Structure 1
Amino acid sequence: MVKFRNIRVSLKTGRFYSTRNEYKLICGLEIHTQLNTDNKLFSLSTNAPFKSLNTPNKHVSHFDASLPGTRPKLNYECVLDALKLALSLNCNVNLNSHFDRKHYFYGDQPQGYQLTQHYSPIATEGYMNLYTDIDTIDTPTKKIGIIQLQLEQDTGISHYDNQEKTTMIDLNRSNVPLIELVTKPDFTTIPQVIAFIKKYQNLVRNLDVSTGNLETGAIRVDVNVSVDTYPRVELKNLPNTSSISNAIKYEYKRQVNIIKQGKASELLNCQETRGWNGKETVKLRSKETTIDYRYMPDPELGCVTLDPSIVQNVRNSLPRSSDDEIRSLMEEPYNLSVKNAKLLCVHNEKNEQYTSIEVKDFYLTSFDLFQKSNAKLSFKEKKIVANWVINELLGNLNKLELSLREIKQSFPPEKFVEFIQLIHDGKISNTGGKTLLFYILNLIKEKSISVELNLPKLVNELKIEVQSTINDDELLSQCKDIIDEVNESDPKLIEAIKLGKRINLLNYLVGIAMKKTRGRVKPTEYQRLFKFLLKIE
């Protein structure tokens, strides 16, 4: 037996045996991002790969179909989007980039080659920082290096009909502009990979260069996975973050098992590309069948030459990074939790009623107006706006399927702050506020608002104003009825309240009372009366 570092090699069988108990996961990413420009990369065809899915070959020019005699003409809007993304990822911009032909023959690639930037990409050597508090990774910080960022054209789509044994080609997606981003193999855990992808999605949305959706294919991720210093295995066909996570986990275990069984030579001698079928990774091709792409500079496209002033102008126009935005919202005067700060800065593709930018603008405007109306707000009072925007307003928008844009005309930040002021000044309770907010939004949904909202009038109509004078006899009778109702259905609960076992049980009774009176009586009054009736000190 011959021993190398961390490996034993059997002279009899030639097998490799690991002497280590731990195996290091190493990952790198290749991300293709579809740009949402008006036109395609090298033609004037409409860039609408998803809007026209039901109408195949609707947005196809002569060049997209590679008809003889057609020539590419670069869409500089795509270059501008690539610059925005490159500078946001701290890349070095190449002032003289150019396009190359990547040759391969397939039905949905009519040219016989793909135009890409293999030799001289538009940007190189960038990075993205991940943080444990913002990105929920398993280390305090993690810097992920970016090798390069390049422009290239997308292919068409092949549709297979197994019954008819035919393949149909849709060229709507042909020549759609892509940005390919290649990271360094800096990922050592799955949470780091997922955090990077989610942060990248949010970045392209904030820059408005892509929808950033994995499910629709606007972003497509390939993962390179290796163990220790063994050759990488490329994983393709990963439609979402769940699949990415499960595929990495499976592939890591598969490679570790191969090493443990003394078959490490299988990894050393065969660099594979594998797919994910939802349960396991499956072999697509190996190094022996790798295509020779025969890259060559494209003779019909000249260099993309950029003046340094253009790069600087783009740099100056970039929005603040989401990290900076989140941290500023966690500090004075806002003092938001990291969860709420992220909700205002990180777009959630599942929410169609609003974007993070719309919510953040609504919140910031409302906060400034509320602060101007109330001198010397306490730490707790400063959080009132965030609580009502995030917990109540957004919740009701989702429930009623209303967009933030739909309500802003009738219920702008100025009117929203007037609403919050009613609660702050004690004119209506929190319960009454919830009733009023839902009522207002429902009016907007039903298009029943013809004039400007009159909040005092609505408070009157709903009878939710907190009463200044309280009839104790009437309230005592009401509280006694509630105790009798609850005692009849659950006597143990009333007994537990009397014994003072759980304070939230008393609040349960208060909640019932508040609901019956729509919050017209302060909860402290109900607490006082329930304690009196149940003889709780």
Structure 2
Amino acid sequence: MFIRRLATTTKDKFQYNPNYKFKCGLEIHTQLKTKYKLFSLSETSFNDEPNTKISYFDVGLPGTQPKLNPEALLLALKASVALNCDIQSFSKFDRKHYFYPDQPLGYQITQQYYPISKNGYLELDSQIDDSEGKIGIERIQLEQDTGKKYGDIIDFNRANTPLIEVVTKPDFTNIDQVFAFVKKYQLLVRHLEICSGDLETGAIRVDVNLNVNDSPRVEIKNLGTTGDITNALKYEYNKQIETLENGGTIVQATKSWDGYVTKTTRTKENMIDYRYVPDSEIPNVNLDKNIAQDVKDILPEFPDQIIKRLISSPYNLQLTHAKNLLSEPEQLQYYETFFKNFVNPDANKWMFQELFSAFAKLDKVFDVNLITPEILIKVANSNHSLVTKRLILKNMIITGKSLDETIKSLNLESEIPQIEELCENIINQNPEVVKRIQDGHENAIQVLVGQAMKITRGKVKANEIKEQFLKNLVL
């Protein structure tokens, strides 16, 4: 019970100690969005019944041969270009030996000595990332995933799923940088269709390496959410300081995070413990010297470029709106189409305050096909009042009917009454209100406008009615 209270205090009142330097690096394991596995023709699987998407090679049967999936290689190259890495013209695979039940081969195929790329970086921009700094990328290597253990069941569907392991340099000097980097990385790989980008499903798994004052580093493995990453780092930072201040020493080790504390699972293995040897069954990867430019030419606009464009003129979006659009490609395309064709200073208002709000109020997920950009423009440019326009959007979302069908069902297609004559009649019926207006109480005109709006049932804009009253009253 004491441990849980301590952990809560650590989360709520965390502070850096100026006498202890925070130093951190990340290892990010990223499942590649391929149809087939890394070295077999088994389909990749994320939600299927256990052991239904496996081949002989996936479960390590003797005599089966690996064959590299070129789609995985292409996605690894895309990640390398996006992270400003130097793609290596020569790379090869190694066997990393260790014996766990979820590793059927008895070794993992990886690229320890000759990775696909090296020496990259990812820039954190305070304008869009709420943090800043240039984080170095030591290397990116292609490797296979392991199976997954559920109690007494081992599911090999995940075994041999293609991964890239992105190893950063220990350039993080605070937790805000770590958080910003992981979020930026998620957005980048999702946008480039390299990975689904999900932490919670295990598509991205993060290991953090932390030390204070250059003491031996402690690795915390398999952190599944940004909250876990943040809280585990806070706890471990304080724990290492406490150990040093009590006269203890930090031992290089691997730890896990249980949501409250970090726990040592083993003292850290060295490279020799894994008995790395070249994989003799997989050919070396030899790439053309111009491959980086070729890959760059097929990549779309990067997230940072899109965000900076959206928060600048002529869009002038709020940063939150820009990031939300970027995370939903269909919505981004919808917005850009709408903005391009609806030349109006209220374009953002119509998109976010009217359209998105209409779906949210009805607890509906925004459907880009239900109200197309062209239909939204027709609604926004119609002569109906804002109240009526909102009613039209609401009914279209509820019923799924077309714009014409909705207008007909709401009885909005009848002829709009003659405004000049209507206003004149209302003026004649309200001499006391007219006198107040003429005596200088200009706001009293809203009484007349309200009556006209009620009669027209919102078919005419309030501003048009008000202008007509002003003309009739010669104000």
For this structure pair, what is the TM-score category when the shorter chain's length is used for normalisation?
0.7 to 0.9
- Structure 2: stretches of 5+ with no match in the other structure: 1-16, 434-445, 468-475
Structure 1 residues 289, 123: closer, same or farther in 2, change over 3 A? closer
Shift, 1:147, TM fit: 0.4
Shift, 1:475, TM fit: 11
Contact in 2 for aligned 1:466/1:522 (Cα 8 Å): no
1:437-461 Cα deviation digits (max 9, x unpaired):
11112222xxx45xx7467646743
Task: Find out whether 1:232 has 2:226 as its counterpart.
Answer: no
Task: Map 1:417-428; keep pairs closer than 5 Å.
Answer: 417-422=377-382, 427-428=383-384
Task: Find out whether 1:185 has 2:170 as its counterpart.
Answer: yes
Contact in 2 for aligned 1:467/1:521 (Cα 8 Å): no
Task: Find out whether 1:77 has 2:71 as its counterpart.
Answer: yes
Partner AA of 1:394 in structure 2: F
Query: In structure 2, what is the equivalent of residue 148 of structure 1?
Result: 139
Task: Find out whether 1:106 has 2:105 as its counterpart.
Answer: no
Task: Find out whether 1:304 has 2:285 as its counterpart.
Answer: yes
Indicate the larger mover: 72-81 or 327-336.
327-336
- Cα distance in 2 for residues equivalent to 1:419 and 1:318: 36
Structure 1 residues 288, 217: closer, same or farther in 2, change over 3 A? closer
Task: Find out whether 1:157 has 2:153 as its counterpart.
Answer: no
Shift, 1:467, TM fit: 9.1
Query: In structure 2, what is the equivalent of residue 436 of structure 1?
Result: 392
Structure 1 residues 310, 289: closer, same or farther in 2, change over 3 A? closer
Aligned-pair identity (%): 46
Task: Map 1:513-532; keep pairs closer than 5 Å.
Answer: none
Cα RMSD between the aligned structures? 3.3
Structure 1 residues 453, 206: closer, same or farther in 2, change over 3 A? farther
Partner AA of 1:386 in structure 2: N
Shift, 1:412, TM fit: 2.2
Task: Find out whether 1:360 has 2:360 as its counterpart.
Answer: no
Query: In structure 2, what is the equivalent of residue 328 of structure 1?
Result: 309
Shift, 1:285, TM fit: 1.3
Task: Map 1:390-409; keep pairs closer than 5 Å.
Answer: 390-398=352-360, 399-407=362-370
Query: In structure 2, what is the equivalent of residue 504 of structure 1?
Result: none
1:22-48 Cα deviation digits (max 9, x unpaired):
322111111001112010000000111
Partner AA of 1:212 in structure 2: G
TM-score (norm 1): 0.73
- Structure 1: stretches of 5+ with no match in the other structure: 1-19, 161-166, 348-355, 372-380, 480-506, 529-537
Task: Map 1:137-536; keep pairs closer than 5 Å.
Answer: 137=131, 141-160=132-151, 167-263=152-248, 266-267=249-250, 270-287=251-268, 292-345=273-326, 347=327, 356-371=328-343, 381-382=344-345, 384-398=346-360, 399-407=362-370, 411-422=371-382, 427-444=383-400, 448-449=401-402, 453=404, 457=408, 460-461=411-412, 468=419, 469-470=422-423
Query: In structure 1, what is the equivalent of residue 58 of structure 2?
Result: 64
Structure 1 residues 213, 367: closer, same or farther in 2, change over 3 A? same
- Cα distance in 2 for residues equivalent to 1:181 and 1:316: 22
Task: Map 1:115-134; keep pairs closer than 5 Å.
Answer: 115-134=109-128
Shift, 1:307, TM fit: 1.7
Contact in 1 for aligned 2:412/2:459 (Cα 8 Å): no
Structure 1 residues 28, 454: closer, same or farther in 2, change over 3 A? same
- Cα distance in 2 for residues equivalent to 1:277 and 1:102: 27
- Cα distance in 2 for residues equivalent to 1:295 and 1:152: 13
- Cα distance in 1 for residues equivalent to 2:395 and 2:175: 45
TM-score (norm 2): 0.83
